[in-house]
Amino acid sequence: MMFRAALLMTVSSASVEQDQVQISEDKVVQIEALSKLAESASQLLRYGASSPVISFTRDTLREIELEVLPAISTSHKANVKLLQDRHETFRVIKATYQDSSNKLDGLRALEQKLSNDHKACRVEERTNCGSFTKCTNDLQELWLTFQSKKGALETTHEVINGKMCKETFPPTDYKMQNALYSWEDRTSFETFTKRGEQYFTAKDSYETKRPLCNAENKTLVSTTKTCNDLKQELEKSSCTSLEKHSDSLATLNATWTLAQKELKAAEDDVKGQEKDRKIEFKSIKSIECLLGFINRSGGKPCDKQTGDAQVATCHSVDADSHWLNIEYIKEPAKPADLASAPHPCNVDFLKQESYGNLSDYCLKAPPSSWTLPDWTLPDLRSSECNTCEQPTTTAVLTTAAPTTAAPTTAALVQQELDDDEEE
């Protein structure tokens, strides 16, 4: 018979006694061939072999030493490298994830700077709004005082004008009309003079204050525009951070799950090959032992006792296969998810960025409640978010109406006249 080394290299699981190992059905033919080969070698050992067989035996022993056993070692090393490559995949995934984390840190650092700038701007906006509100409240008081002084002066003029039969207000020439007045009318002229002084003083105070409030208004409107621009830039930056965060997590989860499946499949395959390889190694060493006895005997037959002893020795040969052991390293721990952060337009983000009603700080009694030219006021509604997701509904911010109605000009004029009478 012919001994084929190639057969030894393809057998994945077999032993001389078949080692009572469970094997797959597709290996049955190969195992039977290897078993028959071992049985034939045992017979040759007992009954002798011809010179060509001895020569072939020597060639086969060299082939086992130079090709078959190295092939087993190569297969073993290939399995070890396969597992190492599968674990290297996890390292690459973690490195990629860390790189994404570093980039996200950079994006969030920029976002934090924009957030600080935006919140500082809102503080300035509230301060400016407070200054404007105080100015308009003061101006309202000056306006009402001005109107009351004007009404009181008009009332006194009407008394004097009734005697002069003139409708001009204020009169332009008292000296030419002196003949129309008696001594008792002096009180009216004194009152008129006093109220005229009060009227012009109130008028000057109002007209001096009004441009100051206009300036406060322009400052507030400008600050609000700056804050809104910062807000838009911040939201765009925050959306970029959120997108990077979401993409990084999605990539991590997908690649990590795939790597887990590939590692599990590789380990299952390698474990089967490892077990088969050890059986193959032991079988080959047993046959190598038999062929060695044949070669050393020169093909001469031996007695039954000696032959049986040599066959038994080869069947129980101590083939140390520990070098074929494979270490199955535990799968590495998955990196923790990157921490999330507030983003437009969720509640945390709105709270973080002080999206509030300016009427919480100012403009509780808006200038529209009294007669003055229209002011250009900041838009007190929340500007729309640059959505990274469906925006939540935000409440419309409105200025609060005055809790008490301002006194009317007529009432103030009447009070002015009553004060004069008491004096």
DSSP secondary structure string for all residues of 210-226: HHHHHHHHHHHHHHHHH
What's the structural domain count of the chain? 1
pLDDT tens per residue across span 220-238: 989 988 988 888 899 889 8
pLDDT at 350: 77
DSSP of 74-105, one letter per residue? HHHHHHHHHHHHHHHHHHHHHHHHHHHHHHHH
pLDDT at 86: 94
User: Residue 353: inside a domain, yes or no?
Assistant: no
pLDDT at 370: 52
38 and 283 Cβ atoms separated by less than 8 Å: yes
For residue 342, the Cα-to-chain-centroid distance in whole angstroms is 8
Amino acid at 314: C
Range 336-340 contact pairs with CB under 8 angstroms and sequence separation of 24 or more: 337/249, 337/252, 338/100, 338/101, 338/104, 338/245, 338/248, 338/249, 340/245
User: Residue 373: inside a domain, yes or no?
Assistant: yes
pLDDT at 355: 66
Burial of 78 (C-beta count, 10 Å sphere; 0-12/13-18/19+)? exposed
User: Residue 96: inside a domain, yes or no?
Assistant: yes
User: Residue 319: inside a domain, yes or no?
Assistant: yes
User: Residue 342: inside a domain, yes or no?
Assistant: no
User: Residue 111: inside a domain, yes or no?
Assistant: yes
Q: Whole-angstrom Cα distance, residue 114 to residue 231? A: 8
CA nearest to 49, candidates 285, 288, 292: 292
User: Residue 340: inside a domain, yes or no?
Assistant: no
CB burial of 224-239 (b: ≥16 within 10 Å; e: otherwise) equals: beebbebbbbbbebbb
Query: Which tokens in the block code for residue 356?
Result: 């509030």
Longest dimension (CA), the chain: 174
User: Residue 355: inside a domain, yes or no?
Assistant: no
Q: Whole-angstrom Cα distance, residue 133 to residue 213? A: 9
Q: Residue 289: which residues within 8 A CB-CB, separation 6 or more?
A: 313, 314, 317
- 53 SS3 class: helix
Q: Which residue positions in the chain have pLDDT lower than 50?
A: 1-28, 30, 164-170, 174, 176, 179, 369, 390-410, 412-413
Q: Which residues span the domain enclosing 163? A: 5-333+366-422
